Amino acid sequence: MELRNKIIIVTGASSGIGAAAAALFAREGARLVLGARREPELRALADRIGSAEVLAGDVCEAGYAQALVDLALATYGRLDGAFNNAGILGDLGPLPQMTPDTWHRVIATNLTSAFHAARAQIPALRRTGGGSIVFTSSFVGFSNGGLPGMGAYAASKAGLIGLTQSLASDHAAEGVRVNALLPGGTITPVLGDDSPEVMDYIAGLHPMKRMAEAEEIAQAALFLLSDRASFMTGSPMIVDGGMSVRLA
């Protein structure tokens, strides 16, 4: 029971890595506040796993992060950690053809939302006496080998690593740990209706010759939120099936 009685916020919890993480954290004893835009999916997940409150909303809105924290405090009396996992891939293509709307939407969802989350979560964690924040970045923001068409996504995920390390330095002495999780290709709904041929191609890019299951990435998030990672902060933790090694 790695997270026994710990109060954890999970965003992007309606599907994919977030849903897998919420289910895993609940099995490990956590009590959860689940966030995502799709309320029916959130409520179905909460009914399935138990020990969870839900609040639908958009991580791009500044007040939503605070509302999730307020719900945790009102329901459970404290906050011990957060898995800030919500993110989007955005429209892919060369930057000269990218619309400003796409750029701003990807940056807002993947990076500015982390700013909102940190502003709301860190004061609550201080009151608890410390805790752990995990952001979902990507190997694309660390060593992507120039994967084409991913300018906005790469910029947002690289920025998230920089933010993570700055926050870790600022708040380590307060007992607040901040780390970034860098998944490789993962089988989630974000891939949309890609054909088996496309999925096989993506899998083949990985030295392990497969993509991750969402639960595998959730296990890494569990480690970072647990006391087993008590001396880890500011780390870009790579869980990518060897992609960053191949592309370095």
Q: Which residues are catalytic?
A: 153
Cβ proximity of 10 and 34 under 8 Å: yes
One-character DSSP codes across 35-102? EES-HHHHHHHHHHH-SEEEEE--TTSHHHHHHHHHHHHHHHS---EEEE--------S-GGG--HHH
Q: Where are the alpha helices (DSSP H) in 81-213?
A: 100-107, 113-128, 151-171, 196-205
Burial of 113 (0-12, 13-18, 19+ CB in 10 A): buried
- The total number of residues shown for the chain amounts to 248
Q: Report d(CA 141, CA 137) in Å as an integer.
A: 7
CA 136/CA 113 separation, integer angstroms: 11
Beta bridge partners of 84: 135
